[in-house]
Structure 1
Amino acid sequence: MNRSCVNCLKTMVISLNFLCWLCGAFVVAFGEFQMIHSKFASLIPTFWPIYPANTLVVTGTIVTCVCYLGVLGGMKENRCMLITFFVLLFVLMLVELAMACVFLVYSRKTEYFKNDLLQSLEIYRQSGPDGNKTIKKDFDAVQHLFRCCGVNDVTDWKGDVPISCCNKDPCNIVPITNWEEGCLEKVSEWFTRNYRSTGAGVVTMFIIQFVCMSISIPLFCHFSREGLGYQ
């Protein structure tokens, strides 16, 4: 392989890995943004281990580290870095593929939302003025954001309807009109969209990383034949 081909492969490896590194950094930032502004975590504890924001932060952090190793390996023509990059990227791709399958499957399993939301609503109803402020704040935010009331409908509150259900100002004058539609369907739809979009994003990163790995193989083979890469 002549030097011009090697330089072309190096440029492609460095450019693609740098692009992948930028994607990973963006994924981390977007996951942090979701974690800060999300109003659903405390209401649906069953889904917390596979919450989209958590997955984005963890995956993005690992991707940035692995792709940074690929950039350095290509720039320094270092076989040790390249083979480490190749192995780590292969394992990461398998994990991402499994994650994408999990998200696409869970995007259809929204029946668990009902139990979690009903339990959160009961905690809200039974809590005093100083009790479980997190669930109260999040439930109020969800009802205000989605313009809904209760889980199935307004009757879930059994007459003790919070002010966040009010659909027409002023909300401190009787009679108060409330949203009639429940939050279950709207929250389920929101999670379904997020799971599908997160799964699609993971698949996209998988494709980019597969191209990076494919290009790094001939580059590593060339360094091996020339005896380069361990200095």
Structure 2
Amino acid sequence: MAGVSGCIKYSMFIFNFVFWLCGIVILALAIWVRVSNDAQEILSSEDLGSSPYVAVNLLIAVGAVIMILGFLGCCGAIRESRCMLLLFFIGLLVILLLQVAAGILGAAFKPEYDRILNETLYENTKLLSTTDESGKQFQQVIIDFQEEFKCCGLVNGAADWGNNFQQYPKLCECQDVQELCTNYNGKRVYKEPCISFIKNLLAKNVIIVIGIAFGLAVVEILGLVFSMVLYCQIGSK
């Protein structure tokens, strides 16, 4: 009867050991962020709402799942346990199917995401002209963004800043070629609003996420193949 391939067995073990370590690191960092006093102050900020807690809790869940799958893969390979290998296979297959479903939903609802993004940007434009303390942090973020990407305002250019335009002496100051500049209230400012740069930046990040997801899918498929081959070899011993 055929024996178990040592190459596949130890490749599975090494792969899943690294997988298990990654799960431990993600889980440990997420838990530290969740319980750290400094992190609690940031997460509890009124400006951030509840979304950071959701993100941290999601990371805890992801780290736990990765750690469990890595453990099942390691033990299943080194102990030649068909039960553990089957559980590993099912868990990895479920994750792969969820990734595919998320990709399909993301493609199907892309127009809706674009609409929400536009509405959010137009709504946040009001924060640039406010004098309340609640908008100061957001204004500073946009100022830094403007300096880096050489743009001004969110949607309507310098006009988005309203009366706050005079509060920041070097706001949107343009010292580049004439084509990038325009005059506003006696100052040379960047004429391009930042909405297009924000959309391009988000689009690039989405491409990176898709690339990472595709790479993970390839690794997961290899894990499925190796685990099933090892499962069948153990059964035929």
Query: CA RMSD for the aligned pairs?
Result: 4.1
Q: Tell me, in whole angstroms, the C-alpha distance in 2 between the residues paired with 1:104 and 1:116.
A: 20
Are 1:117 and 2:124 counterparts?
no
Q: For residues 72 and 89 of structure 1, what CA distance do their matches in structure 2 show?
A: 15
Which structure is richer in relative contact order (CA contacts within 8 A, separation 6 or more)?
1
- Per-residue Cα deviation, 1:13-59 (whole angstroms, up to 9, x for no partner): 2244346557778999xx9xxxx9xxxxx99x9xx79xxx88x9578
CA–CA distance in structure 2, aligned partners of residues 191 and 181 of structure 1? 17
1:158 aligns with 2:179: no
Distance in 1 between residues matched to 2:21 and 2:189, nearest whole Å: 45
Cα contact 1:148–1:165 (8 A) shared by 2? yes
TM-score normalised by L of structure 2: 0.67
Q: 1:110 to 1:25 in 2, by over 3 A?
A: farther
Aligned length: 206
Residue 209 (str. 1) matches residue 208 (str. 2): no
- Structure 1 segments of 4+ aligned residues over 6 angstroms from their partners: 22-28
SS of 1:178's equivalent in the other structure is strand
What is the one-letter code of the residue matched to 1:136? Q
CA contact (8 A) 1:149 1:179 kept: yes
> In 2, are the aligned partners of 1:150 and 1:156 still within 8 Å (CA)?
yes
What residue identity is the alignment partner of 1:157? W
2:234 to 220, 223, 226: 223
Greater mean deviation of Cα atoms: 181-190 or 66-75: 66-75
| SS, match of residue 193 in structure 1 | helix
**Alignment partner, residue 201 of structure 2:** 190
Q: Alpha-carbon deviation of 1:2?
A: 3.6
Judged with a 3 Å threshold, the aligned counterparts in structure 2 of structure 1 residues 25 and 124 are, in CA distance, closer, same or farther, namely farther
Amino acid in structure 2 at the alignment position of 1:193: K
One of 178, 189, 206 as aligned partner of 2:189: 178
The match for 1:9 is 8
- Unpaired stretches in structure 2, ≥5 consecutive residues: 31-38, 40-45, 176-184
* Alignment partner, residue 229 of structure 1: none
- Percent identity between matched residues is 21
* Residue 81 of structure 1: how far off its partner (Å): 2.0
Distance 1:187 1:211, change over 3 A: same
Structure 1 segment 57-206 matched on structure 2, within 5 A: 57=59, 61=63, 62-103=65-106, 109-128=113-132, 130-152=133-155, 153-158=157-162, 160-161=164-165, 162=168, 163-168=170-175, 176-206=187-217
Give me the whole-angstrom Cα distance separating, in 2, the residues matched to 1:154 and 1:136: 13
